[in-house]
Structure 1
């Protein structure tokens, strides 16, 4: 599935993560766009996400919990796939 998504990536690479709900995280610093690939196949872009949020997200022991508390509902989202 990741290979299918590679065709629509941002300029940054996706980082695979250990999570029950999220497969990979990508971030484009220039546009401040966070891309999330979910286990169920959805790909969402979140806009105007500060780099500090992305750094904390990548370092969080629970990606799903961090996503729910600090990303979901806090940034404009567009479903890509």
Structure 2
């Protein structure tokens, strides 16, 4: 999966799963599986949130957002089914 590196520190792709550390006060890191659409969000308070059927385009927007925390709150949380 190709993602341009803008507002996250690093991205690693392993077997179809992308891992990225985000530059955010709310989110520490994410993992995303393109084949399943599963997005795992690691929050800075230690909690983890899993979502299903998240399109790759939404994950790309999250990683490129000026504020990944705001994007997550407005475009992912409450819009995609939690696992």
TM-score by length of 2: 0.76
Shift >3 Å, 4+ stretches = none
- What is the root-mean-square deviation of aligned Cα atoms in Å? 1.6
How many residues are matched?
69
Higher-helix-fraction structure: 1
**Does residue 44 of structure 2 align to residue 26 of structure 1?**
no
Higher-strand-fraction structure: 2
**Does residue 50 of structure 2 align to residue 45 of structure 1?**
yes
Correspondence for 2:5: none
Give the gaps of 5 or more residues in structure 2.
1-15
Q: How many Å apart are 1:44 and its aligned residue? A: 1.1
TM-score by length of 1: 0.78
**Secondary structure in 2 matching 1:54:** helix
Q: How many Å apart are 1:58 and its aligned residue? A: 0.6
Give the gaps of 5 or more residues in structure 1.
1-10
Q: How does 1:1-80 map to 2 (within 5 A)?
A: 12-78=17-83
